[in-house]
Amino acid sequence: MFVCLCKSVSDHEIRAAVDNGVHSFEEMQERLEVSTVCGACTCEVKQILKKRLNKEVSTKTFSSNIDVNLATSGLA
Ligand code: FES
């Protein structure tokens, strides 16, 4: 689904950008040029970015907990 019609950027591309190192709205604007014309997509871009970053943090936390549990259990 297109989120930014002015630059033809989809929600998939926004999530992929986060997965490839974009961690702020400003970085997203630089990378994909979203929200640089009319600005109508700004809220949706920020929501997708925030959700993806939260998912990334919880995944890393989960992985980190597994590493700690494996290390303390002697399985690592
Ligand atoms: S819809 Fe994104 S800048 Fe216009």
Let me know: does 28 contact 43? Beta carbons within 8 Å.
no
What does the radius of gyration of the chain's CA atoms come to, in whole angstroms? 16
User: Which pLDDT score is estimated for 58?
Assistant: 77
Q: How far is the CA of 41 from the centre of ligand 1 (A)?
A: 5
Q: Which residues contact 22 (CB under 8 A, 6 or more apart)?
A: 28, 31, 49
Let me know: does 52 contact 19? Beta carbons within 8 Å.
yes
Residue spans per domain, the chain: 2-73
Q: How far is the CA of 9 from the centre of ligand 1 (A)?
A: 9
Question: If you classify domain 2-73 with CATH, what class do you get?
Answer: mainly alpha
Q: How far is the CA of 73 from the centre of ligand 1 (A)?
A: 51
What digits encode the pLDDT tens for the residues 2-61? 999 999 999 999 999 999 999 999 999 999 999 999 999 999 999 999 999 998 777 776
Predicted model pTM: 0.79
Query: Residue with structure tokens 């002015």?
Result: 6
Give the atom of ligand 1 at the shortest distance from the alpha carbon of 5: 1
Closest of 47, 42, 48, 39 to residue 14, by C-alpha: 48
> What is the identity of the amino acid at 76?
A
